[in-house]
Each structure stands twice: as structure tokens, then as C-alpha cells.
Amino acid sequence: MLELTRRSLLFGAAGFGLSSGAKAALREVDLKLVLAVDVSDSVIEERWKVQKEGYARALQHQKVRNNILGGPLGAIAVTLIQWSSRHEQSQVVPWTLLNTPDAIDKLSSTIGRMERQFSNGTAVGAALECSARLIAEAPFQSMHSVIDISGDGFDHDPVVRREKTVPLATIRDEIVGQGITINALPLLGDRIAVPYGTYTNVAEMYEAEAIGGPGNFMVVVENPDRADLFIECLINKLHLEIA
């Protein structure tokens, strides 16, 4: 079952700290996209395999490929991170230019072969911070930048600054203020059916505190252990955010 939720926020112009000359020298693309994949301990091995194979297969879907190559510039830039606890984020796939069918095939193959990096706590805010830093440092220039985060757990390991916990919504607002859109792919299921504050499932948390920016949305995966449903949701999500 596919559930789509959308809300929009106002945001300021992005300021990534690059000079105008440096920006002009960067390769222009239609979109910079960070795929942030949850590999915390709540992601059982079967669910990890569904995610890995799902991302690889979604890139092979014609609808997604048409969107990647069909923009004004005919190119997007993609990177993939695996994330778990507050100090565990790994850029498993470096920034990759997708401007030909062959480049898409190579990225799909790379994702299909990647090894799991972590299996510990769940730090949604830290994953978003890491993703935003990668966008700021990317060797590409684009009108649109998107963080696409998947997750099946609550933010149990929040960001801490000066010995104070930073709310997830604050992290979200800071990133949106840089001109970045955050979309989400919440993964439901029995393993996350434990209340967290006022939330009864992770989709409620992602909608209230994580997604943001112009045209932001989330696609809820009702049963993330079913490969066919996960792939269906992921294809629809990538189609919407790349289009």
C-alpha cells in the first residue's frame, strides 16, 4: 500500500560557503540527491537485503531512468550514505554523475554489491546533518538539492551540541534554511510498533519533525519486509523527487 504525504515550508536562499567563481567551475546538474539508508540495529538482515536490492532495482526502472535523463540538463548527481548511531555515517557511494544509461547501470550495480557498514543505534538528526554536509561539499552545482532518508526507527540517539540535545525539528529547520528539501521513506512493521513520545509509528515522527522544504513529501512503506512493496514505494518516490 502506498501512502503519500506532502507539506511545504518557506525557506531562505542556500549559502554553501563557495565563492561565485568556485560555483561557476562546478559541473551543473538538474539535482543533487543524497540517498540516506538506515542500517541501525532495528533493520534486520532480511530488511537490509530488501533495501539494498530495492535501490539497485529501482534505478533500473524505466520511469526513474527517464526522469534522471529527461531534465533540462539531462543529468543528476547522486551519493549514498549508510547511517546508524550519532557517530556512524558512511558515504558508501561517492558523488556520482548520472547522465547516461551506462552511468545509471554502473550505480545500480555498485549499490547491489555494497556491504552493510553498521548495526547500532538510530540517529536520524545526525544522518540529516551528514547528508547536508555532503550536499554543501558536492563537486556539482544545481538548482535543487534533496535528502532522501529511509528509516524504521525513532531518533533515539539525537544530536548533542554543547552538552545539550538538539531536537530533530531544529536540525530539519536548519537544513531547510540552506535551501535543501528533505523527503522520507518511513518503514513500518511490527518491530517499530512501540510508542515514542506522542508518536505511535515512525511515519508520524518523520512527517512532524524530519521532512521539510519546497514540495517535500514522504512515502510510507507499510510492509518493508516485502520486496515488491518496498520497490513499488521507492520507484514512486524517486520518480516524484527527480521529476
Cα gap 204→127, rounded to integer Å: 18
The domains found in the chain, sorted by start residue, are: 2-14+30-242 (3.40.50.410)
Per residue in 20-67, pLDDT tens? 445 557 899 999 999 999 999 989 899 999 999 999 999 999 999 999
pLDDT in tens, 193-217: 455 778 989 999 999 999 999 999 9
Element (H, E) at 128: helix 124-137
- Residue 238 CA to residue 240 CA, distance in Å, equals 5
Q: What is the pLDDT of residues 63-115, one digit of tens each?
A: 999 999 999 999 999 999 999 999 999 999 999 999 999 999 999 999 999 99
Query: What angle do helix axes 227-242 and 62-69 make, rounded to 10 degrees?
Result: 20
| 10 confidence band (pLDDT: 50, 70, 90) | very low
Residue bearing cell 561539499: 137
The pLDDT tens digits of the residues spanning 135-159 come to: 999 999 999 999 999 999 999 999 9
Residues in Cβ contact with 175 at an 8 Å cutoff, skipping those fewer than 6 apart = 128, 129, 131, 132, 147, 182, 212, 213
DSSP 57: H
Q: CA-to-CA distance for 148 and 55, rounded, in angstroms?
A: 12
The SS3 of residue 161 is strand
